[in-house]
């Protein structure tokens, strides 16, 4: 098997039906210069011709149509015509894919799975069997998506790169497929304490793992130091993944890390993650918006300045869902401010600790009682605090069940 670059090279496609449409997409993706010869074109091919401004010669094939071709693809639906095209190519020393059933052209298209810049192709050596090739391809693609193939570069490129990957709330299967692939390609992973830390155990033993996890009250790696670590590793030609809990741009200081990379001229990209703002309440069955209950969402960093007018207004309004991150320590102050701002003491509050983990626990309370309830339950970080009507127990239960107390 030979990997051939078709970029800027002429590919002649004889026939314009469904098979041609499928292959056409691939050749267009490869950057080939495409010439189609067929008296009629199917709707799919017509659409592709219009979309990509392709050359279509609307008549039956003639030998002269092959002029300048590097590769010919014939799928006319008529085995004799395809065989004639293939024979002509053979004489002219052009490679030809013959799509006729059971035919063997001088070239064949592999079923492809891609992951980043790795391409895995599947072909049959003897009799073609497209559906078998597709099944093998799908199995390989699934392994690639799960990050289970060793696709990490062995040869260093001159310039490294940094990917900020949002890891979601914890479980490895709530990390995105793209994030998992980038981890499989990484030379260095700079990880937090929160997020899908179990995935680190699945990486190659020689991947460097730098733990910059912040534990409340314990030693923390200053942000400037984290910025320096990711920039320096990338400058040494390494592929760096900065793995973060939740989403990189929600109280994750991801913006500062991107800015540090850009300032150093390091290529940097951000992969979104499931933020705990939404996914942790969801793990307790709490929708952050709910038709008829709450249509506005307000997010507060409990460690930061809480006393802003908009935050006080949000806390006081039961139709606004207020989600507080990093708020366990600040809870008494927060509640005092909310009550002072006119919030009703009956307003529902839910505290969800360690969402999406086996140790998840939800404490339901009200603004008036939550400080005492949280103290009694010994609530700890990480936890998400939800204030507003959506935090009411039984919100999503049908009326019939709400009427009785059994399921509350």
* Cis amide bond preceding 382, omega within 30: yes
Q: For residue 263, what are its two tokens?
A: 């300032």
Tell me the C-alpha distance between 356 and 386, whole Å.
Answer: 16
Pick between residue 120 and residue 270 the one whose CB is nearest to ligand SAH: 270
Helix%, strand%, coil% for the chain, nearest 5? 35, 20, 45
Closest CA to 165 of 146, 186, 145, 144: 186
Tell me the C-alpha distance between 66 and 130, whole Å.
Answer: 26
Active site residue 192: yes
Number of H helices, E strands in the chain: 12, 17
Query: Cβ 254 to ligand SAH, closest distance in Å?
Result: 8
Pick between residue 70 and residue 249 the one whose CB is nearest to ligand SAH: 249
Query: Cβ 353 to ligand SAH, closest distance in Å?
Result: 6
Query: Cβ 280 to ligand SAH, closest distance in Å?
Result: 4
Q: What are phi and psi for residue 389, nearest 5 degrees? A: -60, -25
Pick between residue 107 and residue 189 the one whose CB is nearest to ligand SAH: 189
Query: Cβ 248 to ligand SAH, closest distance in Å?
Result: 7
Pick between residue 240 and residue 250 the one whose CB is nearest to ligand SAH: 250
Query: Cβ 198 to ligand SAH, closest distance in Å?
Result: 13
Pick between residue 38 and residue 379 the one whose CB is nearest to ligand SAH: 379
Active site residue 214: yes
Tell me the C-alpha distance between 353 and 374, whole Å.
Answer: 11
Query: Cβ 282 to ligand SAH, closest distance in Å?
Result: 11
| Contact (CB, 8 A) for 293 and 395 | yes
DSSP state of 233: H
Q: Please pick, among 30, 145, 214, 373, the residue that the annotation labels catalytic.
A: 214
Task: Please name the residues in contact with 105: beta carbons below 8 A apart, sequence gap of 6 or more.
Answer: 74, 86, 89, 95, 96, 97, 98
Degrees, nearest 5: CA angle 271-275-276: 150
**Terminal C-alpha separation, the chain:** 64
| Contact (CB, 8 A) for 188 and 241 | yes
Query: Cβ 201 to ligand SAH, closest distance in Å?
Result: 18
Q: Could you identify the residue written with the tokens 């404490």?
A: 363
Tell me the C-alpha distance between 67 and 63, whole Å.
Answer: 8
CB-based burial of residue 220 (10 Å sphere; 0-12 exposed, 13-18 middle, 19+ buried)? middle
Tell me the C-alpha distance between 6 and 121, whole Å.
Answer: 16
Pick between residue 124 and residue 303 the one whose CB is nearest to ligand SAH: 303
**386 beta partners:** 323, 350
Tell me the C-alpha distance between 118 and 247, whole Å.
Answer: 27
Tell me the C-alpha distance between 355 and 346, whole Å.
Answer: 25
Q: For residue 181, what are its two tokens?
A: 């692939």
Pick between residue 190 and residue 352 the one whose CB is nearest to ligand SAH: 352
Q: Please pick, among 65, 82, 187, 192, the residue that the annotation labels catalytic.
A: 192
Query: Cβ 77 to ligand SAH, closest distance in Å?
Result: 53
Binding site for ligand SAH (CB under 6 A): 169-170, 194, 244-247, 250-252, 275-276, 280, 325-326, 352, 354-356, 381-384
Closest CA to 226 of 190, 255, 202: 190
Pick between residue 161 and residue 356 the one whose CB is nearest to ligand SAH: 356
Q: Which residue is nearest to ligand SAH (CB)?
A: 246
Instruction: Just list the catalytic residues.
Output: 192, 214
């Amino acid at each position: 098997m030979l990997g051939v670059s078709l970029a800027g090279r002429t590919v002649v496609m004889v026939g314009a039906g469904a098979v041609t449409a499928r292959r056409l997409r691939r050749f267009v993706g490869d950057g080939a210069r495409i010439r189609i010869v067929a008296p009629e074109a199917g709707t799919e091919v017509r659409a592709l011709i219009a979309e990509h401004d392709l050359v279509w010669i609307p008549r039956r094939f003639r030998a002269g149509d092959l002029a300048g071709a590097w590769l010919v693809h014939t799928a006319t639906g008529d085995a004799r015509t395809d065989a004639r095209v293939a024979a002509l190519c053979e004489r002219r020393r052009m490679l030809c894919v013959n799509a006729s059933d059971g035919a063997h052209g001088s070239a064949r298209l592999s079923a492809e799975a891609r992951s980043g810049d790795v391409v895995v192709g599947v072909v049959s050596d003897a009799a073609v069997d497209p559906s078998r090739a597709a099944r093998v391809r799908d199995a390989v693609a699934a392994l690639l998506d799960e990050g289970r193939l060793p696709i990490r570069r062995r040869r260093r490129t001159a310039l490294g790169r940094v990917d900020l990957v949002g890891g979601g709330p914890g479980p490895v299967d709530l990390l995105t497929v793209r994030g998992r692939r980038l981890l499989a390609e990484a030379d260095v992973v700079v990880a937090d304490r929160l997020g899908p830390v179990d995935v680190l155990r699945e990486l190659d033993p020689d991947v460097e793992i730098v733990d910059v996890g912040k534990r409340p009250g314990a030693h923390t790696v200053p942000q400037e130091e984290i910025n320096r670590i990711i920039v320096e590793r990338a400058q040494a030609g390494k592929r760096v993944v900065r793995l973060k809990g939740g989403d990189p741009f929600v109280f994750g200081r991801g913006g500062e890390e991107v800015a540090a990379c850009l300032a150093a001229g390091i290529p940097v990209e951000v992969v979104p993650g499931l933020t705990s703002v939404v996914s942790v309440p969801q793990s307790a069955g709490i929708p952050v918006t709910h038709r008829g209950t709450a249509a506005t969402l307000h997010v507060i960093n409990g460690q930061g300045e809480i006393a802003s007018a908009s935050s006080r207004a949000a806390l006081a309004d039961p139709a606004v869902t207020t989600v507080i991150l990093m708020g366990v320590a600040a809870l008494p102050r927060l509640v005092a401010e909310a009550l002072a701002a006119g919030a009703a003491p009956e307003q529902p509050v839910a505290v969800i600790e360690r969402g999406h983990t086996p140790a998840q626990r939800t404490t339901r309370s009200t603004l008036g009682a939550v400080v005492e309830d949280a103290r009694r339950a010994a609530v700890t970080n990480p936890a998400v605090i939800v204030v507003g009507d959506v935090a009411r127990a039984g919100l999503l239960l049908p009326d019939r069940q709400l009427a009785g107390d059994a399921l509350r």
